[in-house]
Each structure stands twice: as C-alpha cells, then as structure tokens.
Amino acid sequence: MTASPSTYVAVTLSVYRRERLVKTVTLREPVLRIGTDPRSQLSIDDTTASRTHAVVEVRDDGPTLIDLGTNSGTWVNGARVNRCRLRVGDDIRIGTTHIHVERIESN
C-alpha cells in the first residue's frame, strides 16, 4: 500500500552524469516517475534511458524502486533489479545516469 495521506515521506536524490553532479532533488509524491520524459518527477537527460524508465513508490515501509520492463534495466548497487526497497546510500543506475539516495525522511 502506498503511504497514507497523513504519512509524510521525502526522498532526496542526487543525479550524476559522467561522475558530475547534475542536480539534487527532494521528492514528496507517492509515486515518482523517473525517465527522459520532461513531465517525469525526476527527468533525466540520457539517451540510453526510457521515457518512463522506473518509478519509486513511496510506501508506509519506505520507498520501493520498480523497473518498468526496460531493455537496459535498472541497477541498484551494481545488481539488476525489477523491484528493490531503497535505503540511504544506495546507488541507482539508469542508463549511464547514477542516482544516489541521499536521504529518506518520514514523520
């Protein structure tokens, strides 16, 4: 189940391209879309990523990363994943973009 309306969860992510920090964002939506689509909550500029590549579902037990069946896959800490509970310090790779989980906050 996604987080209840009274539950506040914020996920802070740092996005790196070619080992260079591109941006750091804090996301608070219950479902966070990641991909090249500019309408994604986390839009990435990466020709090897899909328009909607993965989502992060914010649940009562924490954020879960879900690959949306992409050819290039979604990787967490060097392992290809279909679904993975995220923790502070995790390194997500989508295409050639690395996304570092900086902080997870909830009330």
**Higher pLDDT, residue 4 or 31:** 31
| Residue 2, pLDDT score | 54
| Residue 27, pLDDT score | 84
pLDDT at residue 40 tops 90: yes
**Higher pLDDT, residue 2 or 73:** 73
Instruction: State the pairing for strand pair 31-35/97-106.
Output: unpaired
Give the Cβ contact number of residue 27 at 10 Å.
19
| Residue 1, pLDDT score | 52
- Paired tokens of 24: 């750091």
Sign of the C-alpha dihedral computed for residues 5, 44, 74 and 104 taken in this order = negative
pLDDT at residue 82 tops 90: yes
Q: How far apart are CA 91 and CA 82, in angstroms?
A: 15
